[in-house]
Amino acid sequence: MSLLTTLARLEAVRAGVAQPLATVRHRHVSERPFALVPLAAAGETGAPLAMLLGSDREHPRLLTVPQPLDRDLRFAFLARLGDELLPYLESFGGDVELLERNVKDPESGEKTVEVRELCADAPQLIVPNPGGVELLGLFGRSTRFRRTAEDPDPGPYPAPARVPLLGRWLTHLSERANVPGSSMLLPLTSTLARHWATGQSSLEDAHLGALLAWIAPPEGSRGEQAASRAENGRDERGQLLVPPAGPATDPDFDSLLLAPAVTRYDAARSAQDEPLTRARAEEIEALLRSVLLPVWHQVWQGIDLLRELPPAAHVVERWEGDRWSYTGHRDRVAAGEPPQPLHDDAVTAARKLAQREREQVRVDLEEALDDPLAMAEHRLAGQAFAGEVVEVQPDYDTSGRSPKPRPLVTVRTEDRPHLDPGGEVHRAGGPSTQRAELAWLDAEAGLLTLRLLSGMGRKKEPEPGSVPEQGEQVCFTLFELSARQSAPLPDPEDTPWTHGGPPQ
Amino acid sequence: MSTHPSPAAAPTPGEQADAAVAAILASALHGGERGTVVDSPPGAGKSTLVVRAARELVATGERLMIVAQTNSQVDDLVDRLAQADAGLAVGRLHGSDALPSEIATRHAGVVASTKAADLRELPVVVATAAKWQWVRDTDPWHHAIVDEAYQMRSDALLAVARLFERALFVGDPGQLDPFSIVGTDDWAGLHHDPSQSAVVTLLAHNPGIVPHRLPVSWRLPASAAPLISDAFYPFTPFRAGTESGDRLLGLGPATPPPPAGLAPGLARAADEVLDVAAESGWGLLELPARLTVRTDPEAVAAVAAVVARLLARGGEARSERGTAPVDAERIAVGTAHRDQAAAVRAALAALGVTGVTVDTANRLQGREYDVTVVLHPLSGRPDATAFHLETGRLCVLASRHRHACVVVTRAGIPELLDAHPATEPVQLGVVSKFPDGWEANHAVLEHLRRHRVPVG
């Protein structure tokens, strides 16, 4: 945790309300998001118990598994989840924009124009917390390889028709959620915690109810009281006032209410009393609805809070990455490609890691450029400085054939960058990318004299507007302002001997 | 003598090391496996081995590529190769924004270029792994040497392995593991986890490769080798190449008055811990227990005080290489974080001290000094995270010195360790590393406790 975040948390404790960590919203929030609040059954990994879902906040759909250990009921649940979710996911596939790019034919070397489709928008799924993302990934893993009645060899236990397709989408979405800066499957707690500092630990921030209690405490109450009530408050039946946002349920709910209800359901079912079984299943539904509905409202409250922040400048650009990701998966499904493998081969794993590292660097840089509070972290760490230009002196590099502009810009700053003469800096928020080096510094007076090295055009005199003027506010960073390209990797069939050769 | 060793006499360190090197070269040149792996403890002559292996491989008439991890490592290697054989033409392949250092290009035989094609015909070409990854459209080299292979990531090896047929991998398994800025749990337990070290992947896919070991540390003094060997290499012990009387650190009297910026009490404690370290090879300067920010001003001042007093008193290092003064160039300060290093640099500058290397553990890897001053990674912390407990970090910091190492810390670290047992999730299929950082930290502190000097 950075010093600035620690400070913000201390301020939050004093003020009794969460403090902003961002001036803008760093994640995309769709106009038509699809919220899911999943619950998992205790005792078995990835066993669904219930889910409240939908894109209509007034009319959520409830799906339940009255006996979570029953595989048929589980897959009936997943089939209904597919019925709810797949139409939403597929609804973005039709509206496309056409992009042209020049490509060279690898064999003939001829240049041709390739037209590619990019979906105009992409779906956005919002779950309460990272545990929800993980659970959806587990659903994907347990369903994408299932055979259905339509398969040539359906096997003894065919799954409902669209269940494997749902698994492939859930797998794709949960993988995409691991790419830094992506917004296609968004866990709410970590997204909110990126934008607000509460007066509690980051572990406690993982509780959606407590987190919202800090960000928007009820009238007349302080964050810590509201959070404490959200975490520990119980009613006369011993049930939590604010049920946990899943996927795990409260053990007291399980043992006092849910388990007896499931036992009654089992009894009715084994007596083959259909009306009674249905009544018992409805009892379970009512129970689960009572613990899911409060979370449902919290999720939409969180979305509202995020929507109040203006979007950061680079969010649209990053969302385009999600649109490409969506379009790519849509095309793979349409082309009839097999489901994603259980494990990545060596080359795919390395490619994914490279992509995630590149995106992490990119999102850190873009957040710093978009948000003065994010840049302040770097300034405090001595990795950036901001200040006013107090003097500009034209100067030239005459070593080459024609003189090049190398003006000296003196900046007064109160920041203390870890920078020695000769060190390279990069201009943030300038008209174009611009490098400079520190010519000399007067640490006492806070004066840094920089020699601009690039971004001034090709002529002897710098392009108008490319050199900051006296009195202008400028900001420079010690780190480069674009992510480095990743090195090429071999094709999977060329995996070298050091990595076990090509995958079988 | 050496042709008729008496069966009873134990081999000398020199004989042990020679036998190990001969076996390594035989395996690299003619072994049945395409890869040869050499594990080298700190200061065991890894660089010497690389230079020697390079010359022997070149002598067979084959062209050789060498992969190192950082530009400064590449420049160092080129310099060593050129010094060892002035007639050897060495290619220094570099990126367009990373010009080679003068220490590499000053040699007549060194050719620097950004294009592999320009250097293709030279007997040896050296570059970083990051640069080699971009080399395309070229026939593979027959031999490669991969230096600091334990700091190379598996995905980097995946990108360069197409360039060579056989390779000698040299590195120190006890130093810092490679890391990633993103989570890598998705691949934990896979043989080819792209975030693990290149050697781990190589050995998992080529079970026939049995790592060789260099058995003698020529850098670490007799006072340090047993501790480092026990704490960090419990299953692959090594010994010091010198005996306890071979290295002496003589300090001048503590008479020069401390400069104005240095509190007299702190200066006295610094003098005392320096005397202890000169005598025993280790010193622990302990500040009162306190939770602090990372750049703890008192701890930073104490580190600066030790360095300033050492330089003010003047020291003389006597070793098998002869006698030399301990000047600023021969002293290093090691920290866990970059902001700590920056704070120490500022504190030293305020005391008028220049020329002392101050850097993080990551950047001190592979370097060697007479005296090191270490800011303990856990000093003043409220918690012991995996980063601060990493075995390699402490190992790097505690094994850079030829004579003495002074550790500066807040009191209370054993209690902190006891309150924070390792809680990293266990991943299926991942081989546990021994010793873990928790245990290694305890072992080192237990030893340092005997050389403790309290402040205030």
H or E element, residue A64: strand A61-64
| Residue of B182, B186, B338 with shortest CB distance to A360 | B182
Q: Is B338 on the interface with A (CB under 8 A)?
A: yes
Judge whether A450 and A434 are in contact, CB under 8 Å.
Answer: no
Cβ separation of A356 and B155 shorter than 8 Å?
Answer: no
Q: Give the pLDDT score at B8.
A: 54
Instruction: With cut-offs at 50, 70 and 90, classify the pLDDT of residue B432.
Output: confident
Q: Give the pLDDT score at B1.
A: 38
Whether A158 shows a pLDDT value over 50: the answer reads: yes
Q: Are residues A316 and A195 in the same domain?
A: yes
Whether B5 shows a pLDDT value over 80: the answer reads: no
pLDDT digits (tens, 9 = 90+) for B383-415: 888 888 888 899 999 999 999 999 999 999 989
Give me the domain span that covers residue A156.
Answer: 3-95+120-248+293-365
| Å between A496 CA and nearest CA of chain B | 6
Judge whether B373 and B331 are in contact, CB under 8 Å.
Answer: yes
Whether B120 shows a pLDDT value over 90: the answer reads: no
| Residue of A3, A360, A500 with shortest CB distance to B293 | A3
Asked if the ipTM is above 0.90, the reply is: no
Over range A162-176, report the average pLDDT: 94
- Please choose, from the candidates A79, A164, A161, A169, the residue with its C-alpha nearest in 3D space to the C-alpha of residue A125: A169
Query: Which residue's entry shows tokens 């794709």?
Result: A172
Q: Is B428 on the interface with A (CB under 8 A)?
A: no
Tell me, yes or no, whether A463 lies in a domain. yes
HSE, CB side, 13 Å, CA atoms: give it for residue B340. Answer: 26
Q: Are residues A422 and A331 in the same domain?
A: no
Range among A140-154, A352-366, A448-462 rated most confident: A352-366
Cβ separation of A499 and B183 shorter than 8 Å?
Answer: no
DSSP notation for A180-235: TT--SEEEHHHHHHHHEE-SS-TTGGGSHHHHHHHHS--TT--HHHHHHHHHH-B-
Q: Are residues A390 and A437 in the same domain?
A: yes
**How many separate domains does chain A show?**
2
Over range A54-73, report the average pLDDT: 94
Q: Give the pLDDT score at B243.
A: 87
Cβ separation of B186 and A352 shorter than 8 Å?
Answer: yes
Cβ separation of A498 and B158 shorter than 8 Å?
Answer: yes
For A349, which residue in chain B has the nearest alpha carbon?
Answer: B194
Judge whether A65 and A74 are in contact, CB under 8 Å.
Answer: yes
Tell me, yes or no, whether A282 lies in a domain. no
| Residue of B157, B180, B182 with shortest CB distance to A498 | B157
Arithmetic mean of pLDDT over chain B: 89
Instruction: With cut-offs at 50, 70 and 90, classify the pLDDT of residue A67.
Output: very high
Q: Give the pLDDT score at B270.
A: 93
Q: Are residues A215 and A325 in the same domain?
A: yes
Whether A413 shows a pLDDT value over 70: the answer reads: yes
For B165, which residue in chain A has the nearest alpha carbon?
Answer: A497
- Please choose, from the candidates B34, B25, B35, the residue with its C-alpha nearest in 3D space to the C-alpha of residue B59: B25
Q: Are residues A228 and A309 in the same domain?
A: yes
Task: State the Cα–Cα distance between residues A128 and A241, nearest whole angstrom.
Answer: 18
Which tokens is B237 given? Answer: 């012990």
Tell me, yes or no, whether A283 lies in a domain. no
For A382, which residue in chain B has the nearest alpha carbon?
Answer: B339
Whether A283 shows a pLDDT value over 60: the answer reads: yes
Instruction: With cut-offs at 50, 70 and 90, classify the pLDDT of residue B3.
Output: very low
Tell me, yes or no, whether A126 lies in a domain. yes
pLDDT digits (tens, 9 = 90+) for B134-158: 998 788 899 999 999 999 999 999 9
Tell me, yes or no, whether A104 lies in a domain. no
Q: Which amino acid does the sequence have at A417?
A: P
Q: Give the pLDDT score at B246.
A: 86
Q: Are residues A341 and A467 in the same domain?
A: no
pLDDT digits (tens, 9 = 90+) for B161-216: 999 999 999 999 888 888 888 988 889 888 889 999 999 999 999 999 999 999 89
Q: Are residues A350 and A387 in the same domain?
A: no
Q: Are residues A354 and A387 in the same domain?
A: no
Task: State the Cα–Cα distance between residues A291 and A240, nearest whole angstrom.
Answer: 9
Q: Are residues A238 and A349 in the same domain?
A: yes
Task: State the Cα–Cα distance between residues B442 and B448, nearest whole angstrom.
Answer: 10
Arithmetic mean of pLDDT over chain A: 92
Specify the CATH number for the domain of residue A386. Answer: 2.40.10
pLDDT digits (tens, 9 = 90+) for A335-344: 989 999 999 9
pLDDT digits (tens, 9 = 90+) for B123-140: 999 999 999 999 987 888
Tell me, yes or no, whether A191 lies in a domain. yes
Domain's final residue, options A365, A397, A417? A365
Over range A17-36, report the average pLDDT: 95
| Residue of B182, B201, B342 with shortest CB distance to A382 | B342
Q: Are residues A452 and A307 in the same domain?
A: no
Domain's final residue, options A301, A331, A365? A365
Task: State the Cα–Cα distance between residues A437 and A19, nearest whole angstrom.
Answer: 36
Long-range contacts of B52-55 (CB under 8 A, 24+ apart): B52/B21, B52/B25, B53/B24, B53/B25, B53/B28, B53/B145, B53/B168, B53/B170, B54/B81, B54/B124, B54/B145, B55/B81, B55/B84, B55/B85, B55/B88
Q: Are residues A334 and A451 in the same domain?
A: no
Tell me, yes or no, whether A306 lies in a domain. yes
| Å between A153 CA and nearest CA of chain B | 31
Query: Which residue's entry shows tokens 């024609």?
Result: A402
B149-182 burial, b for 16+ CB within 10 Å, e for fewer?
bbbbbbbbbbbbbbbbebbbbbbbbbbbbbeeeb
Query: Cβ contacts (< 8 Å) between A357 and chain B: which residues?
Result: 180-182
Cβ separation of B195 and A487 shorter than 8 Å?
Answer: no
Instruction: Give the 3-state DSSP-derived string for chain B, with helices as H, strands as E and coil as C.
Output: CCCCCCCCCCCCHHHHHHHHHHHHHHHHHHCCCCEEEEECCCCCCHHHHHHHHHHHHHHCCCCEEEEECCHHHHHHHHHHHHHHCCCCCEEEECCCCCCCCHHHHCCCCEEEECCHHHHCCCCEEEEEHHHHCCCCCCCCEEEEEECCHHHCEHHHHHHHHHHEEEEEEEECCCCCCCCCCCCCHHHCCCCCCCCCEHHHHHHHHCCCCCCEECCEECCCCCCCHHHHHHHHCCCCCCEECCCCCCCEEEECCCCCCCCCCCCHHHHHHHHHHHHHHHHHCEEEEEECCCCCCCCCHHHHHHHHHHHHHHHHHCEEEEECCEEEECCHHHEEEEECCHHHHHHHHHHHHHCCCCCCEEEEHHHHCCCCEEEEEEECCCCCCCCCCHHHHCHHHHHHHCCCEEEEEEEEEECCHHHHHHHCCCCCCCCCCCCCCCCCHHHHHHHHHHHHHHHEEECC
Tell me, yes or no, whether A264 lies in a domain. no
**What percent of chain B shows pLDDT beyond 70?**
98
pLDDT digits (tens, 9 = 90+) for B252-306: 888 777 777 788 889 999 999 999 999 999 999 999 999 998 889 999 999 999 9
pLDDT digits (tens, 9 = 90+) for B330-381: 999 999 998 899 999 999 999 989 999 999 998 898 889 999 999 999 999 9
CA A258: distance to chain centroid? 33
Q: Are residues A426 and A462 in the same domain?
A: yes
Query: Which residue's entry shows tokens 């079970």?
Result: B207
Residue A78: phi, psi to the nearest 5? -65, -35
